[in-house]
Amino acid sequence: MRLLKIRAENFRNYTSLEFKPHPFLNIITGENAQGKTNLLEAIFFNFNTYSYRANSLKDIIKWQEKNTKVLAIIKEKEQQYKQSVAINQVGKKKVLIDGVENKKKIPGHSGVILFTPDDLNLIKNTPLLRRKFLDQEVGFFHPEYISYLQEYNRLLVHRNHLLRNIKINKKNSILETLVVWDEQLVNSGIKVLLTRLKILKKLVPLAVKWHRIITKNVENLEIRYLSSLKVPVPLDEKQLKIRFHQLIKEKRLEEIQRCQTMVGPHRDDLFFLINGKNAKFFGSQGQQKTIVLSLKLALVSLYTEQYHSEPILLLDDVLFELDQHRQKMLFSQIEKGMQTFITTNHFDHQLLFNANYDLYVVEKGKINISPVEYRV
């Protein structure tokens, strides 16, 4: 996939943005607060029709203005189309593809893989974020998963409600109803778990491979799925169901006491280990960043394999905190072909082996291409 051109009006600090990117590598430099991240956000917004960093979609409209529009010309597998996404002052969205209104376009990542500095929270923060990441990616690569998860979440709400009811009313008859809900919860929960494991089985070896490349085999990444069923996965479906039922029975009193379902994929987590040590507690900033980057590159590989087309890679402030070796290894890989946009405050020209890239300087919401003589 290639972004051939992007045009935006009143998007964040850009009054009028017009940008024809390089087909492979685009390096976007500039001082703080000039509009580098805003440019990546505009690209992301056009592809996904939502923003990954706005509380409300209206936030992306330039202050004092009433609406914004981002138009992109995209080439995918020899086909070219024009996509326009507009937001008005009440936050209403309008998507046009080749001039025809498209109401079905579902927000989700459609061909863009993004790294932002906030992604480090994936390692540092609570399990909730790791499950969110997993749910989003599994849902993308395995669309049925979205309905599995919705069903599971619906069952959880009902079951927790029932647990509260049992605690308050102390009626045995409600306990019988709970058994029926248990059965549904187990069946639905196992579907969620098995689909997650199916995607992880592909994603993890790819992330490990990318991690080895970037660290030049110095560090070894392990990614483990920690199931609240406390079983070494993979187990087969039947064994997993038996285990789930068994744990639910064991936790019955505790669950009623807390009015909460204590086991199931909504309590699972992912663990990242570097050379056998948990990266959340022992990893340096650069090591944590390398893990997230490897995961994102693994998503690129998975996307390419599934859709036979390379996604667009947006890397916001990825170089900061990575040492020269890691930066070089990263560039040596992304030079290989997919269209990439990297923002950075400082760019060292010696990081690149060939001159197949464009360098831009962003200043006060204007993008200027850097003269060729700056290059190696």
Ligand X SMILES: Nc1ncnc2c1ncn2[C@@H]1O[C@H](COP(=O)(O)OP(=O)(O)OP(=O)(O)O)[C@@H](O)[C@H]1O
Q: In 3D, which of 87, 68, 81, 90 has the Cα closest to residue 111?
A: 81
Binder of residue 62, out of ligand X, Mg ion, none (CB less than 5 to 8 A by kind)? ligand X
Binder of residue 345, out of Mg ion, ligand X, none (CB less than 5 to 8 A by kind)? ligand X
Produce one character per residue of 314-334: b if its CB has 16 or more CB atoms within 10 Å, e if not: bbbbbbebbeeebbbbbbebb
Nearer to Mg ion, 41 or 182 (CB): 41
CB of 65 to ligand X, least distance (A): 8
Binder of residue 261, out of Mg ion, ligand X, none (CB less than 5 to 8 A by kind)? none
Nearer to ligand X, 141 or 360 (CB): 360
Distance of CA 291 to the CA centre of its chain: 13
Q: Which helix (H) or strand (E) holds 155?
A: helix 144-169
Nearer to ligand X, 36 or 130 (CB): 36
| Residue 95, helix vs strand vs coil | strand
Nearer to Mg ion, 24 or 320 (CB): 320
Q: Answer yes or no: are the C-beta atoms of 149 and 192 closer than 8 Å.
A: yes
Query: In the chain, which ranges are E strands?
Result: 2-11, 14-19, 25-29, 68-76, 79-87, 93-97, 100-101, 112-115, 221-226, 269-274, 277-278, 312-316, 340-344, 357-363, 366-369
Binder of residue 32, out of ligand X, Mg ion, none (CB less than 5 to 8 A by kind)? ligand X
Segment contacting Mg ion by CB under 5 A, of 33-41, 61-69, 137-145, 350-358 = 33-41
Produce one character per residue of 247-272: b if its CB has 16 or more CB atoms within 10 Å, e if not: bbeebbeebbeebbbbbbbbebebeb
- Can you tell me the distance from the alpha carbon of 86 to that of 66, in angstroms, rounded to the nearest whole number? 11
Nearer to ligand X, 60 or 155 (CB): 60
CB of 123 to ligand X, least distance (A): 21
The contact set with ligand X (CB under 6 A) reads 12-13, 30, 32-38, 59, 61-63, 345, 362
Q: Which helix (H) or strand (E) holds 136?
A: helix 127-141
51 binds Mg ion (CB under 5 A): no
Nearer to ligand X, 84 or 344 (CB): 344
The residue count for binding Mg ion (CB under 5 A) is: 2
Nearer to ligand X, 214 or 319 (CB): 319
Binder of residue 33, out of Mg ion, ligand X, none (CB less than 5 to 8 A by kind)? ligand X
Segment contacting Mg ion by CB under 5 A, of 10-18, 31-39, 63-71, 217-225 = 31-39
CB of 74 to ligand X, least distance (A): 22
Binder of residue 30, out of ligand X, Mg ion, none (CB less than 5 to 8 A by kind)? ligand X
Q: Return the residue nearest Mg ion (CB atom).
A: 37
37, 68, 188, 340: residue in contact with Mg ion (rule CB under 5 A)? 37
Phi, psi dihedral angles at 67 (to 5 degrees): -155, 170
Return the bridge partners of 81, or none.
74
- Can you tell me the distance from the alpha carbon of 138 to that of 289, in angstroms, rounded to the nearest whole number? 22
- Can you tell me the distance from the alpha carbon of 293 to that of 287, in angstroms, rounded to the nearest whole number? 10
CB of 240 to ligand X, least distance (A): 45
> What is the number of other CB atoms lying within 10 angstroms of the CB of residue 283?
22
Segment contacting Mg ion by CB under 5 A, of 34-42, 216-224, 229-237, 362-370 = 34-42
Segment contacting Mg ion by CB under 5 A, of 36-44, 80-88, 205-213, 332-340 = 36-44
Q: Answer yes or no: are the C-beta atoms of 195 and 138 closer than 8 Å.
A: yes
The contact set with Mg ion (CB under 5 A) reads 36-37
